[in-house]
């Protein structure tokens, strides 16, 4: 894919094509690379994503918007968008990085997309960058399911607060194994004595699993 093809996909024509070329230059290719543009693009993306969420309507609370923004600007989401644009095909990188599959590596794709956003900002200003980000995120914002982004502990806490009940207590029932292979058995206990237990290799995951079991026990989720 050529840079002209990419600009068609972005729906943005660079006044200074050298900026786009720089945005697609990985550090393995040259000492002058896309890291500075990536830094700029990351900052602009966070701002614009927050603005778009705020303008999407009053249904999102501050906590909802924070959760949604984190989801939209995380590396996994950015890598998905970069793949949709076939950004990897345009990257300039060293032979070692190419041989190790750098064009498909999520972290590299996410960083490159941020660098492209930074390049658009420098080439066309905040307005052009905002329009591009809105095009890239519009469908994802329209289909956001805030509830699915919340972990089980948060959903359980919100359910109990809505029912005017005390928050759950998480207790370490037992631990198993050596330090390097520790497992935890965690109990989630409610104010009426309802109790479920879960076991996992990390205490945090065991607590989330226990919360998920409790939601099922309460009939909130199946």
Distances (CA, A) of 11 to 5, 6, 118, 196: 10, 8, 15, 53
d(CA 70, CA 153): 18
User: In angstroms, rounded to a whole number, what is the distance separating the alpha carbons of residues 132 and 86?
Assistant: 16
Residue 135 and residue 11 in contact, taking contact as beta carbons nearer than 8 Å: yes
Q: Which of 38, 111, 114, 123 is catalytic?
A: 114
- Total number of residues shown for the chain: 222
User: Per the structure block, which two tokens stand in for 9?
Assistant: 């996909």
CA angle (20 as vertex; 17, 23 as ends), nearest 5: 150
The active-site residue out of 38, 42, 111, 130 is 42
Residue 114 known to be catalytic? yes
Beta bridge partners of 189: 169, 195
The tokens of 167 are what?
A: 């928050």
145 flagged as catalytic? no
Round to whole Å and give the CA distance between 93 and 114: 16
Q: Which residues are catalytically annotated?
A: 42, 114
């Amino acid at each position: 894919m050529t840079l002209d093809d990419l600009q068609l996909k972005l729906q943005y024509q660079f006044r200074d094509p050298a900026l786009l070329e720089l945005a697609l230059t990985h550090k393995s290719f040259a000492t002058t690379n896309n890291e500075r543009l990536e830094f700029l693009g990351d900052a602009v993306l966070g701002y614009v994503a927050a603005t778009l969420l705020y303008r999407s309507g009053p249904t999102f609370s501050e906590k909802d918007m924070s959760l949604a923004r984190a989801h939209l600007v995380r590396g996994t989401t950015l890598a998905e968008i970069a793949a949709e644009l076939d950004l990897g095909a345009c990257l300039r990188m060293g032979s070692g990085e190419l041989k190790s599959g750098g064009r498909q590596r999520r972290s590299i794709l996410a960083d490159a997309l941020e660098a492209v956003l930074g390049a658009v900002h420098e080439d066309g200003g905040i307005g052009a960058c905002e329009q591009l980000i809105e095009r890239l995120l519009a469908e994802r914002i329209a289909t956001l399911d805030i509830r699915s982004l919340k972990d089980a502990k948060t959903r359980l806490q919100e359910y109990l607060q809505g029912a005017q009940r005390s928050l759950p207590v998480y207790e370490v029932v037992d631990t198993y194994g050596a330090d390097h292979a520790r497992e935890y058995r965690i109990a989630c206990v409610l104010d009426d004595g309802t109790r479920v237990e879960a076991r996992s290799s990390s205490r945090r995951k065991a607590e989330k699993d226990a919360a998920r079991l409790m939601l099922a026990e309460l009939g909130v989720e199946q």
